[in-house]
Structure 1
Amino acid sequence: MGSRMKGLEFGAVIWSCVLLLLPLPSGSVQPSCPIETVRTELQSPNLTASQLTFNSAFISPIVNSFLSSVQPNPFPKDLVVRMIQDKSVITQGDTVKEVLRYEIGFLVCVAIGILYIVLMPLTGLIFACCRCCGNCGGRMYQEQKARIHCKRKSFYWSTFFITTLIMAGNVCMFLGSTYTSETVMHSSSEVNNILEHLKGYLASVPKQIQQVMDESSKTMDKVKYNLNEIGPLLGKLIQNGLEGPLNPALNSITEIAQVINSTSVGLLQFNKTLEQLKPKVDELTVNLSALSQRINTTLHKSDCVNCTSLQPELDKLSVDVNLDFPDQNDLRSAVNKAENADVIGQANKGRDFTDSIPQKVRNETRQSVQMALLELEKLKIQISGISKDLPLDALKNISGPLTDVQESISNYSPQFELSSKISRAVGLILSCLILLVVVCNLLGLLLGPVGLQPKDNPTERSCTSNCGGIFFMIGVAFSFLVSWIFMIVVLILFVVGGNTYSLVCKPWENNELIKIVDTPGLIQGFDLASTLNLKTNLTIVNVYNDCKMNKPLWTTLHLNELIDLNSILNISQYTGQIYQTFDKTQINIANITILTPEIKSQLRNFSGSASTMNFSSIMQQITNVSETNLNLVAETLDVLASEQSNQNITNELRGEARDLRDLQTGITSTIMPLLLELNSTIKNLSGIAAQINATVENVLMKVGYAQDVLNYNISQIVKSMSRTFIDCQLEIFLAYIQWANQTITEKVGRCGTAADAVERSAKLICTHFVAALNSFWFSLGWCMLFLIPSIIFSVKLAKFYRKMKYADVYENNHIMMNPFPRAQLKSPTMENGKQPTYLYN
């Protein structure tokens, strides 16, 4: 017993030395910091799709190639800049010459157009006069030659081909007119959408900045809440730090208390059963002893035959009913002392100690929390300064003019609709007029061959064929009447649309137009770098290119030169102050003694008393009593009685056997149940006693370990958990700072919407309006160009189908002809009886 106690004390010393070397108690768990990671998504402007979904540039490659040939000169940037900066140079001779040199291609085309406008009606007038005089095919006479059929076919297919080209140009012309009117119709709503996108973008930037500020308020409120709840939060951390050593000790105390209670209950049950058993055993002993003497007297009678052989069985009756149990006073006394020590109450005191830690932490850190909250207010004011330093007012100044432009466009929307209707009507009228020429040609191409009989006299051609020729001449006459008027339209639209493409759309596409805006001094008072107080030379081209890549405003406008974001979001000065404040705070948690030396001595006494109890001898005695069987002796007496010749001895032996059976019945009914109950109690006590020593040693070891932690490491645990708590709060701030820095520099104000507005404006002006307008005048000019060969071929071909007034006759000359199209050949007979041969159309 003494050696075990010495070993236990030595183990406690070893554990104390280990604890002094460890920074934290074994089994403590560093808590994870619940950093808020879910942030609100930044608001973005809602974008609506363009209403212009048709392809206006269906023949733009051809038109642009033509315009590039007409105007191969590069964009005159210097000339445009000079004219914008000084409007007086426009009238100077050198400027005019430079403009004319640049426009030389257009001037040549204009000259050709003017010649067309002048010569076309003049030619038509001369042609009409000549025909009235019988010239230029005006005389209704057709000379019959051998190759007339080949000529007719050639003129027919040439006219058909030219008419097809005019028809294709007319279709393209109609589509160009339609797309132009559609563009004009939707241009007001499209511009409104573009401006609305810009306004939405400009309005979203302050909202995004405000979202970042709101997130800072949420983070600040979260940290303030944690600091105000430092008692439960930090107290829980300290409790977690003490759980490793303290909980096993308290649990072991609860366990030994249960052992003590079980031992006490077992002893009470043992004594109670023993008190019930002893009178019955004593009574059995007396009755059995008296019966043994009676049997012994009967066996020693002289008339008893062979009775001495039963003497050994009789001697056993006085031995097996004796119970001699060891004294339990020492164990009972140790158990009572252990119960009076209230071990379970000590465990509850330990738990009450840990439960009181949060309130102690709250009381000790109240002043430090107030100082930390003041530092956080300073930090909040510093972070809120970001929105003040950003040039957000400039965005508001831009939104105002955009609203004015929207209102102006809304006011002019009826004019746009009227212009669209006029454009559509003009395009439809022009297309129908050109279509009239095409229809005349097609009717001539259809009716002429259908009504033609090759062997007919030219003066006797059918009305159908004659109508075909007349339609050709109608188309020619109408071409002369309207072509020069249409060429005026072509010329005007060519100058406007072609120069718009060359001076606006083409340089807009390659950013040359935007570069003009960046020319220093071009726009008075406009300097983006000086407006934003930047050192970097910020150009519109660079801003536009960055916006096309949807970069944020921080990168696009070089706002890092205006705001030192890293300095604003640097919280080290505040964190250092907060650390110093809490490092100076002493959280004094009063220590407790888990088990006093008296209680430990009583537990050791309890363990020693339990180990001295000899429960095996008690169980052996119970076993001996339970194995007693008087029925065997009674049966022996019955057998012996049957062998006697003396009836009295027989009766005595049988009566004694019956008494033995009565005693055995009493043992079975009254003593055996108590013996079984006593045996069960002794087994339970024996099992408990076998574990008491190890349980007590375990309790003393764990309590010693926990007590050493409380004595030597609790201040270190409190300091470590306090630093962990403060680190957690600052990590929440650092996570927000990292998110805010990344959001402001990488996400706020992504200007892809602004670049998209510029792209949509360029698409509206160039891809839709200018492309459709250029397609219209190019197609109309195409038709005007092919009207010239159409007039020539129609005049030539009409001669083959119209009814002639005079016939060309050949005698004694037979010419074989292949009619086109195939018709019946007739051989007319002349009045003089001759059979002449005609070469007819």
Structure 2
Amino acid sequence: MVHLGGAVVLLLLSLISSTEPMEKCPENADLSFLENLTPAPGKSIDMSVGSLEPLYNFARLFIEAVQPNNFPLELAINASRNVPLNISLLVEYEAGYLVCLILAILYVLIMPVVGGVLAWNHLHLKKRSPNKTSTASSICPHMVIILETCLAVVVILLLTGVILAFTTNNKVRENMKPSLEQLSTDIKKVDDILKLIPKNTRAVINGFSIPKREITKELNETGNVIGETLISSFDRSVREALSALALSVQDASGALTNLEKMEMKRKDLQARHRVIQLRLQAIQSELQRIQTGCPDCNVSDASNLETVADFHQIPSVQPQLDQLNGFSSILATNIVREGNLSFYSIPQICSNQLEPTITELVLDLEDSEEYLRNSSGRIPTLRSLSNSVSSLRLAVQQYRRDVDYYDYVRWAVAVVFCMLILVIVILMVVALCLGLPIEYFPSLYSSLTKDRFKHTAVYLLRSAVVMTFFFSWLFLILVFITLLIGGNAHTLGCRSWKSGALFELLDQWEDLFLVGPGYNTTYGINSTHTTNFSQELNSTQNIKVKFQAAEVYHGCMRGESLFYSMHMHEVLNMDAFLNASKYLGVFNQSFQTLSVNLDGVTLLQPDGRQALLKFKSSTLNLIKYTALLDLLSQPVVGTDLTAFAEGLDKAAQLQGNETVKEDLKKVANMTRNLTQLVELQELDAREMSTSVRSMREISQKYQGNADRALNSITETEEAIHLQTPYIVRNVSQCVLKKGERYISEYLDWVRNAVINMVLDCKWLPVSVDNIYTAACLNIIDPWNAFWLCLGWCWALLIPGVILSIHTARHWWQAVPKSLSVTLKDLDSSPGMTKSYKSLK
């Protein structure tokens, strides 16, 4: 607050009233660009495998046992770069599967040999001499029980394996389509968010238009605010000064009007006074003539018929009127109204004078916006990662239907193979159901029934063995193919994800995490901001930031921004980039020199001031108003003319002489006519007295009023011109502070929006975990559990074959040799023909 010591009280009051409101700048408007640009994190997939979890764990343990090697980082890097693979490293990594392949080949080669041996042995036994008998008692009973029990256990395990194989096969099929959809959805989400980074960056930078609009609005209103502040500060003083001026103008106007009336009435009174004197003399002469001609007539005395007030003694006020002649033109222009218009035109004057500076500041703001837009090319956008994710997204979309179709084919083939195993298991189960009761409860069956059931059970077991020899190699091929695909998918994808080896591959992947330029790389503007801008921008193109993918993942899980977890702050210094001084340099300089010239604002124009000074120096106070009022207060005629005329009428009535009578009546009429003139003279005298009294009042105060008006106007004008620089400075500082707040708030929001919103990555762990869940837990784990169950069944088929062969041999030996004759007899029996043929 600025106080001017030594000034008049009015000036001090105006300073105090003008500076108080300027210390309180209005609060900033609500910036609508503070929007939340943070991507919404996706919803995690619920994964509940239930009772199959132990089976999945066992499959993982088996795969890790088959493929215990570490993640083949070098092979993966070469594959990603389309470099020829190192065969020795590939063989070393796939050594477990090569061993499985060798075992499978050996199995496929050995199975025909073993099958041929068993077939030869079976045929050789049939060619033995029928006299050579063998009994069931050749095998130890305990061994038989163990043999049959083991076969039953194997069959139960086979049945369990088949059920689990069906379950896991269907699980893979059920999860395939939703998981592919989920995989596509999450990859699409990641791709969309990465593509939104440049768009959101553009939206953040384009937000500069809002503070620019607010600042421009403030700038355009600066002149008006300065003017309104001046008006509000000096409105009372100006009203008082103009009121004093109006009072002085009123005095001058009243004086001019009254003087004109006085001069006009003076002329009328003096002219009429001469007429009255002449008529009075005529009446006196006529009465004297009548009195001379008729001495005995009782005629009224006409000696008092004389004027009392001598209006010729009224002085002329023409000199004073001449002194006020220049004021008539001032009254015509209404100097008070002109003073009001001049004072209230201050806002427009300020706006007009500040318009060039405001235009320069607005252009500077536009340059700042353009500079910021071009400089935003230095903000990292992860365009290379976005391109990689887009390629992955296209690949998923392209091959999703094919993968689903091939999985359907796999599911159908697996169902066929499972059905074959199920048939083999059912043959074994039925054989056991026929043979075991006879072994342990022989008394419940007749001899023929027992022999027939055993014969049937033997054929069922042999059929199961034959089907096993025919299809087991196909089972093995399916198991190996699914193991190779699922096992490598688990070790290369799922296990490497858990161990973090996949992150190491991403760290070595060239052109994946390049910090590319922003959305706008044009920098052709001509402004003070573009110095060395192109060099700064080119220095940030395609920079490989040094960070670890695992660090990014875990940092995003902790809620860190990609700006820090990817070490983008080492590439772009946000504090220097968003330094408000870059955008407020010209702004501050222009406001430091802001000024307004109000020399053209005057409450009283020079001609009006001269007229008021002339009015002040006029001789209105030299007129003898009291003597003039005394003169005007005197009667016009010393005799009451009406009474005198009535006296003449009475005297005429008393006259006998008609001539005298008529003469008196004529004189009476002349008197009455003169009465009207006298009354008009008295009226003008009264009116002139009113003007004189008004002039007497004006003469007493017109000089003081003029002095007050001139002093008040002078002091107010001086205060306005003296206070204007301070008001301009305070208002400009207020606008400057508001502009700085707008820019600072916007730049702070840009920093927060880019770091904590645009580059927020809370969505990343959720999406990546969903991809892991969809691919590994929902597809690969059931896939591996399926081949494990299928391999389980295949592995159990081997002991099942061995046990089935021995069990069938034991049961076959227990069938009597006479059974063939009996069966032939039964063939001829109508009731048994059909059932026997079916068993045969």
What's the TM-score, normalizing by structure 1?
Answer: 0.57
1:388 aligns to 2:377 (yes or no) = yes
Asked if the contact 2:38–2:760 (Cα under 8 Å) also holds between the matched residues in 1, the reply is no
1:36 aligns to 2:25 (yes or no) = no
SS at match of 1:365: helix
> What residue in structure 2 maps to residue 131 of structure 1?
122
By how many angstroms is 1:211 displaced? Answer: 0.7
Identify if the C-alpha distance between structure 1 residues 24 and 169 changes in structure 2 by more than 3 Å, giving closer, same or farther: farther
1:65 aligns to 2:61 (yes or no) = yes
Consecutive unaligned residues of structure 2, counting only runs of 5 or more, are 1-5, 244-333, 516-538, 605-711, 819-840
SS at match of 2:794: helix
Which residues in structure 2 correspond to 1:212-611 (within 5 Å)?
212-235=204-227, 358-390=347-379, 395=383, 415-448=402-435, 453-455=441-443, 461=450, 463=452, 467-468=456-457, 470-516=459-505, 518-519=507-508, 528=514, 532=541, 534=543, 537-538=546-547, 542=551, 552-572=561-581, 574-587=583-596
> Structure 2 residue aligned with 1:201, among 163, 182, 193?
193
Which residues in structure 2 correspond to 1:665-744 (within 5 Å)?
716-744=726-754
Asked if the contact 1:551–1:751 (Cα under 8 Å) also holds between the matched residues in 2, the reply is yes
Q: For residues 142-185 of structure 1, what are the alpha-carbon distances to aligned partners after superposition, in whole Å with 9 as ceiling and x for unaligned?
A: 5359984x666655554443223222222232233334445665
Asked if the contact 2:194–2:386 (Cα under 8 Å) also holds between the matched residues in 1, the reply is yes
Q: For residues 768-808 of structure 1, what are the alpha-carbon distances to aligned partners after superposition, in whole Å with 9 as ceiling and x for unaligned?
A: 44333322221111111122333344455557877943399
Asked if the contact 1:213–1:384 (Cα under 8 Å) also holds between the matched residues in 2, the reply is yes
Matches of 2:479 and 2:354, distance apart in 1 = 89
Asked if the contact 2:179–2:778 (Cα under 8 Å) also holds between the matched residues in 1, the reply is no
Asked if the contact 1:234–1:721 (Cα under 8 Å) also holds between the matched residues in 2, the reply is yes
Identify if the C-alpha distance between structure 1 residues 480 and 239 changes in structure 2 by more than 3 Å, giving closer, same or farther: farther
Matches of 1:467 and 1:240, distance apart in 2 = 120
1:772 aligns to 2:782 (yes or no) = yes
Matches of 2:403 and 2:7, distance apart in 1 = 99
Matches of 2:90 and 2:395, distance apart in 1 = 34
Matched AA of 1:72: P
> What residue in structure 1 maps to residue 104 of structure 2?
113
By how many angstroms is 1:443 displaced? Answer: 2.4
Identify if the C-alpha distance between structure 1 residues 158 and 531 changes in structure 2 by more than 3 Å, giving closer, same or farther: farther
Asked if the contact 1:50–1:190 (Cα under 8 Å) also holds between the matched residues in 2, the reply is no
> Structure 1 residue aligned with 2:113, among 122, 128, 135?
122
By how many angstroms is 1:208 displaced? Answer: 0.5
Asked if the contact 1:25–1:709 (Cα under 8 Å) also holds between the matched residues in 2, the reply is no
Matches of 1:347 and 1:129, distance apart in 2 = 139
> What residue in structure 2 maps to residue 257 of structure 1?
none
By how many angstroms is 1:205 displaced? Answer: 1.7
Matches of 1:113 and 1:469, distance apart in 2 = 29
Matches of 2:139 and 2:109, distance apart in 1 = 39
Asked if the contact 1:553–1:748 (Cα under 8 Å) also holds between the matched residues in 2, the reply is no
1:162 aligns to 2:154 (yes or no) = yes
Matches of 1:140 and 1:493, distance apart in 2 = 49
Matched AA of 2:118: F
1:788 aligns to 2:798 (yes or no) = yes
Q: For residues 291-342 of structure 1, what are the alpha-carbon distances to aligned partners after superposition, in whole Å with 9 as ceiling and x for unaligned?
A: xxxxxxxxxxxxxxxxxxxxxxxxxxxxxxxxxxxxxxxxxxxxxxxxxxxx
By how many angstroms is 1:207 displaced? Answer: 1.3
Matches of 2:78 and 2:203, distance apart in 1 = 47
Matched AA of 1:170: V
By how many angstroms is 1:742 displaced? Answer: 1.8
SS at match of 1:32: coil
Deviates more, 1:187-196 or 1:110-119: 187-196
Alignment: residue pair count: 583
Matches of 2:394 and 2:405, distance apart in 1 = 18
Deviates more, 1:215-224 or 1:173-182: 173-182
By how many angstroms is 1:502 displaced? Answer: 3.0
Deviates more, 1:424-433 or 1:373-382: 373-382
Matches of 2:136 and 2:202, distance apart in 1 = 94
By how many angstroms is 1:67 displaced? Answer: 1.8
Matched AA of 1:569: L
By how many angstroms is 1:68 displaced? Answer: 1.8
Asked if the contact 2:223–2:351 (Cα under 8 Å) also holds between the matched residues in 1, the reply is yes
Matched AA of 1:724: C
Asked if the contact 1:188–1:410 (Cα under 8 Å) also holds between the matched residues in 2, the reply is no
Asked if the contact 1:118–1:484 (Cα under 8 Å) also holds between the matched residues in 2, the reply is no
Identify if the C-alpha distance between structure 1 residues 391 and 737 changes in structure 2 by more than 3 Å, giving closer, same or farther: closer
Matched AA of 1:791: V
Q: For residues 613-665 of structure 1, what are the alpha-carbon distances to aligned partners after superposition, in whole Å with 9 as ceiling and x for unaligned?
A: xxxxxxxxxxxxxxxxxxxxxxxxxxxxxxxxxxxxxxxxxxxxxxxxxxxxx
Deviates more, 1:115-124 or 1:202-211: 115-124
Which residues in structure 2 correspond to 1:629-648 (within 5 Å)?
none
Matches of 1:81 and 1:409, distance apart in 2 = 21
Matches of 1:510 and 1:472, distance apart in 2 = 48
Q: For residues 410-441 of structure 1, what are the alpha-carbon distances to aligned partners after superposition, in whole Å with 9 as ceiling and x for unaligned?
A: 66566445423321210110110111122223
Matched AA of 1:420: D
Matches of 1:406 and 1:561, distance apart in 2 = 30
Matches of 2:400 and 2:765, distance apart in 1 = 25
Q: For residues 708-747 of structure 1, what are the alpha-carbon distances to aligned partners after superposition, in whole Å with 9 as ceiling and x for unaligned?
A: 9979867545532332133113211221111112212332
> What residue in structure 2 maps to residue 143 of structure 1?
136
Asked if the contact 1:591–1:711 (Cα under 8 Å) also holds between the matched residues in 2, the reply is no
SS at match of 2:210: helix
By how many angstroms is 1:760 displaced? Answer: 5.2
Asked if the contact 1:43–1:207 (Cα under 8 Å) also holds between the matched residues in 2, the reply is no
Asked if the contact 2:22–2:731 (Cα under 8 Å) also holds between the matched residues in 1, the reply is no
Matched AA of 2:752: Q
Identify if the C-alpha distance between structure 1 residues 576 and 15 changes in structure 2 by more than 3 Å, giving closer, same or farther: farther
Identify if the C-alpha distance between structure 1 residues 568 and 415 changes in structure 2 by more than 3 Å, giving closer, same or farther: closer
Matches of 1:27 and 1:485, distance apart in 2 = 95
Matched AA of 2:425: V
Matches of 1:144 and 1:192, distance apart in 2 = 67
Identify if the C-alpha distance between structure 1 residues 13 and 379 changes in structure 2 by more than 3 Å, giving closer, same or farther: closer
Matches of 1:47 and 1:578, distance apart in 2 = 42
Deviates more, 1:183-192 or 1:479-488: 183-192
By how many angstroms is 1:409 displaced? Answer: 6.1
Identify if the C-alpha distance between structure 1 residues 585 and 513 changes in structure 2 by more than 3 Å, giving closer, same or farther: closer
Matched AA of 1:143: A
Asked if the contact 2:18–2:229 (Cα under 8 Å) also holds between the matched residues in 1, the reply is no
CA-atom RMSD in angstroms: 5.3
Matched AA of 2:202: Q
By how many angstroms is 1:63 displaced? Answer: 0.8
Q: For residues 429-475 of structure 1, what are the alpha-carbon distances to aligned partners after superposition, in whole Å with 9 as ceiling and x for unaligned?
A: 01101111222233234344566752357665165565455434433
The percent of aligned pairs where both chains have the same amino acid is 21
Matches of 2:540 and 2:592, distance apart in 1 = 48
> What residue in structure 1 maps to residue 298 of structure 2?
none
Matches of 1:37 and 1:768, distance apart in 2 = 47
By how many angstroms is 1:352 displaced? Answer: 8.8
Consecutive unaligned residues of structure 1, counting only runs of 5 or more, are 1-11, 254-344, 594-702, 809-841
Matches of 2:22 and 2:216, distance apart in 1 = 27
Matched AA of 2:136: E
What's the TM-score, normalizing by structure 2?
Answer: 0.57
